[in-house]
Chains A and B, each alone.
Chain A
Amino acid sequence: MSVQMRCKNVSLGYEDGIVTEGLEFTVSKGDYLCILGENGSGKSTLIKAILGLKAQVKGDIEWCGDTKKNEVGYLPQQTLVQRDFPASVREIVLSGCVAKSGLRPFYSKEEKALADSSMKRLGIDTLSKRCYRELSGGQQQRVLLARALCATSKILLLDEPVTGLDPKAQIDLYELIASLNKEGITIIMVSHDINTAIKYASHILHIGSRKQLFFGTREDYTKSMSGMEFLGTQEDENV
C-alpha cells in the first residue's frame, strides 16, 4: 500500500482560536477513510486544509508518491447558488476539467471524452442535456461526483455527500461511492453518520472536541471506547 497523504501533528483553527489540534493520520492508495465528529469539531476546516483552501495553524499535510495537492476531486456541500443555477449537466461535468485546461480557452477533445466517460460511469449520461436545477437531489450529487472524477482519478474528498437526500437516494449514493472505491479510487468522506461509516469505510478518523479521539482501521474502531460512546449516543438520539 503506497501512502498518498500524511497528516503530521496538524492544528486547525481560526483567528479566534484553535478548533482542534494534534491530528495524526495517513491515507494510502485504495483506502476508504471516514472522518467522524460532531458539529464544530473541525471536520470542515480539516477538509479545507487538505484541499489547500485554508492554511493549517500548525503541522504539515504532505502529499506522497504520484499524488499532488491539486489532484483531489472534491464533492462539496451544495450551496444556495447552485440550487437554481441554469446550466446543463454536461457543462457542469466538463467544468471539472478546468484545471487541466490551464490557460487554454477551450476544452480539448480528450477532456470532453473524459467528461462523457465520467457521466457514463455514474449512470447520468442520459441526463447530459438536462438542466441541473431540475434534477433530483441524488442526481445532482451524481453530477457533482462526475465533475470530481474529471478532476482526478486518484482521490476523492466528499463533504457530507448525502445531506438532504431521501433514504433510498442515500443508500444508492453510498453504494456508488463504495463501487468507485473498489475500482481503486481513494475515498475520504466526512460524515456524522457512524453506522454507514462502519459499514463502508476501511479506516476511521474520529475528531472530538479539540483533539483526535481515534485513528485506525474500522475493526479497531468498533472495539474502541470512543466508537462505543458515539454509537451509544446515536442510538439514544434515535430512540
Chain B
Amino acid sequence: MSESIEKLVSYFEFPFVRYAFIVGLLISLCASLLGVTLVLKRFSFIGDGLSHVAFGAMSLAATIPVMIKQAALALSRSGELSPGVQGVINFLGGLNDMVIVLPVTLLCAILLLRTGQNTRIKGDAAVAMLSVGALAIGYLLMNRFPSGANISGDVCSTLFGSTSILTLKPEDVTLCIIMAAVVIVVYILFYNKIFAVTFDENFTKATGVNAGGYNLLIAVVTALIIVLAMNLVGSLLISALIIFPALAAMRLFKSFKSVILCSAVISVVCAAFGIISSLLFSTPVGSTIVLADLLVFAAFSLISSLSRSKQ
C-alpha cells in the first residue's frame, strides 16, 4: 500500500501528470452538469454524435496541410515546393486543431439541438447520420492523407484519447480551466432557466421566455465540453462521461438540485479514481474512468432496487 502511495507521489512530481489530473477533474465536472439536462431532454446520444463530428473535424485539421502539400507537389513541374506554399503549410500545421474542431462541432451541435421534433429527419436518426458520416470521412481522410507514419496509432488515440492527456502543454491547461470556469458560471447563472426549459419547453415558451435561446446555449456548452473532453477520454467514450453520472444520480435522488450535485460528485470522484488507478496499473486513462463510472452506476442501481423492494 505504502509502495503505491510512494509511486503516486513520485508520479505527481511530474507537471504533466498534475495537468492531466486537473484537466480530467474539470472536464468530468462540466460533462456531468450538462449530462443531467441532456439525458432528461432525451439527447443522451448527442454527445456520441458530436464527438464523432469532432473526430472528423480533427482528422480534417490534421490532413489539410498534407493535402495542400500533395496538391502543390503534383502541380509543380520541378517536384519541389515553392517557399510560399511551404509557408502556408507550416502556418496551417502550427495552428491549434481547435481552430477547426471547435467551430465545426459547434455548428453541428446547434443544428442537432435546434431542429427538434418537427423536422423531416427525426432527432435520433439525424444524430446517427451525422455521427457515422463524420467517422467515415475522418477515417478516410486520415488514410488517404496520412500526416504521420502511424495511422492506426493516430486514429486510436483520437478515438480513445489514450495518450494525449499526458502530453498537455501549460497553455492547454489554462484554456481548459478558462472554458470549464465559463461552463460552470453559465450553468449556475442560468440554472433556473435550464431547469424550466428541460422540464417543459412549451410551458416556458408560453410564459414568454426565450426557450430557443436557452436551447442554443445548452447546445453551445455541450459542444464546448465535448471538444474539451476529446483530450481526456477520446471521442468514443465521451458519452460515458456525460450520461453515467447523471443516470446513477437519478436512481437515488429525487430533486433536480440533488441529482445535479450528486452527479457532479460522482463524476469528479470517478475521474480522480480513474486517473490514479490508470497511473498505478498503467491502464488507458479514458477507459479506466469510464469503468469507474460504470461501477458506480451499477452500485447505485443495486441500492435503488434494494430500497424499493423493502418498501
Contacts and interface: CB of A to CB of B under 8 A. Distances in A.
Interface of A: 51-53, 69-70, 72, 74, 76, 79, 81-82, 85-88, 91-92, 94-96, 98-99, 101, 105-107, 129-131, 134, 147-148, 151
Interface residues of B, number: 29
A105 B255 contact: no
A79 B40 CA distance: 12
B203 A147 contact: yes
A95 B201 CA distance: 11
A87 B202 contact: no
Interface string B175-219: 000000000000011111101101110111111110000000000
Contact of A82 (B190, B199, B205, B206): B199
A72 B191 contact: no
Nearest to B189: A105
A45 to B, nearest CB: 13
Interface in B144-189: 188-189
B42 A81 contact: yes
Contacts of B40: 81, 85-86
Contacts of B190: 105
B18 interface: no
B199 to A, nearest CB: 6
B41 A74 contact: no
A86 B192 contact: no
23 contacts: A51-B205, A70-B206, A72-B206, A74-B207, A76-B202, A79-B200, A81-B41, A81-B199, A86-B254, A86-B259, A88-B254, A88-B255, A88-B256, A91-B256, A95-B199, A95-B204, A98-B193, A98-B196, A99-B207, A105-B188, A105-B189, A129-B255, A151-B207
A53 B202 contact: yes
A95 B192 contact: yes
B7 interface: no
B253 interface: yes
A108 B120 CA distance: 42
A156 to B, nearest CB: 12
Nearest to A100: B207
B200 A131 contact: no
B270 interface: no
A212 B200 CA distance: 30
Interface in B232-286: 250, 253-257, 259
A99 B195 contact: no
Contacts of B254: 86, 88, 130-131, 134
A209 B58 CA distance: 54
Interface string B47-74: 0000000000000000000000000000
Contact of A51 (B193, B206, B256): B206
Contacts of A70: 206-208
Nearest to A92: B199
What 4 A-B pairs have minimum CB-CB distances, sorted nearest first?
A: A70-B208, A131-B254, A88-B255, A99-B207
Nearest to A107: B192
Nearest to A131: B254
Given A87-B199, A95-B199, A53 B206 contact: yes
Contact of A74 (B42, B191, B193, B203): B203
Nearest to B118: A14
